[in-house]
Amino acid sequence: MPMDTPKDPTADRPHWDIVDIVARLRESREVTHNIRHRGRIREYPSREALIRVLDGLCAALFPTHFGRRVLTDASIDFFVGHTLNETLSLLREQVRRGMSFDAAHTELSDEEIATDAARVTAQFAARLPEIRGLLVSDLHAAYAGDPAATCTAEILLSYPGMRAIIHHRIAHEMYKLDSKLLARVIAEIAHAQTGVDIHPGATIGGSFFIDHGTGVVIGETAIIGERVRLYQAVTLGAKRFETADDGSLVKGNARHPIVEDDVVIYAGATVLGRITIGKGSTIGGNVWVTQSLPPGSVVTQAQSRHG
């Protein structure tokens, strides 16, 4: 039998200079490409913790659907209270972390930021009954607008559009409370889970329904009225971006559509710019709209009819 070949003792040694690479990465972080706010290391909001927060809020808002399997009239309030207490404590910590990145908190001490995080979390918590009311209106709109829906539980548990709206209602409230980084991360969690991309700054009225959902994009300054229905791959986007004298993009300008009450926008339609889609209008599939429409308009690929 052939003898085993002796193993080269250097074969498993790394062929990279870790010490040099680590030193040059430090140089990049600290000097050459330093992007640290106020020159210090900060704790970022945790995506995993925010997923737990969203799960806890869903369980508190709809305990028989997202909470425990068995709840009774005697136990449901205890469950909701216990779940909220744990969830809001976790949320407060994430709010605190996010605030260290907000321009409004640049000059505050860590203690002041912690105090403000507690205030924001309490204000958010106080809005939960109103958020639930909006979500119930969205739920009823989904049931009324989809002939395939067999019950509201099916919509809550399996419709990606409904989950995206739940996340958006939560994210939008955080956005209004100037916890914008946190709101953006929550919106991106929804985007990853559902394929629906709604900026937390978008203002959306009650009884909102997104059917199917995949590929829907709604921009930051969009305003959507009551009883609006969107189908998959609809975009409510910006037509152009204004620039400053130095060529940088101007932030915060109203650049997305206003969609009034009772509008239906079918699959693949693209609506761009700060235009108004009048009340009761219908926009057909795969249509591009870049000009305002009066109430009651009907726009399709084949023809356009107003009034």
Q: What angle do CA 197, 198, 200 make, to 5 degrees?
A: 135
In the chain, the domains with their CATH numbers are: 44-196 (1.10.3130.10), 215-307 (2.160.10.10)
Pairing, β 298-299 against β 304-305? antiparallel
**Region for residue 220 given its phi and psi (left: phi exceeds 0; alpha: psi -120 to 50; beta: otherwise):** alpha
Give the separation between CA 134 and CA 113, rounded to whole angstroms: 30
Find the mean pLDDT for residues 92-117. Answer: 85
Find the mean pLDDT for residues 101-123. Answer: 86
Asked whether 252 and 238 are in contact (CB, 8 A), the reply is no
Give the separation between CA 47 and CA 156, rounded to whole angstroms: 23
Find the mean pLDDT for residues 203-211. Answer: 98
The residue among 232 and 28 whose pLDDT is bigger is 232
Q: Which long-range contacts (CB under 8 A, 24 or more apart) does 5-8 make?
A: none
The residue among 53 and 112 whose pLDDT is bigger is 53
Least confident of 10-14, 26-30, 187-191: 10-14
Q: Rounded to two decimals, what is the model's pTM?
A: 0.86
The residue among 3 and 120 whose pLDDT is bigger is 120
DSSP class of residue 32 equals I
Predicted confidence (pLDDT) at residue 146 exceeds the cutoff of 80: yes
Q: In the prediction, which pLDDT does 37 show?
A: 58
Find the mean pLDDT for residues 103-127. Answer: 88
pLDDT tens-digit map of 44-83: 899 999 999 999 999 999 998 998 778 888 899 999 999 9
Predicted confidence (pLDDT) at residue 307 exceeds the cutoff of 60: no
Tokens of 232: 């998959």
Predicted confidence (pLDDT) at residue 213 exceeds the cutoff of 70: yes
Find the mean pLDDT for residues 96-104. Answer: 82
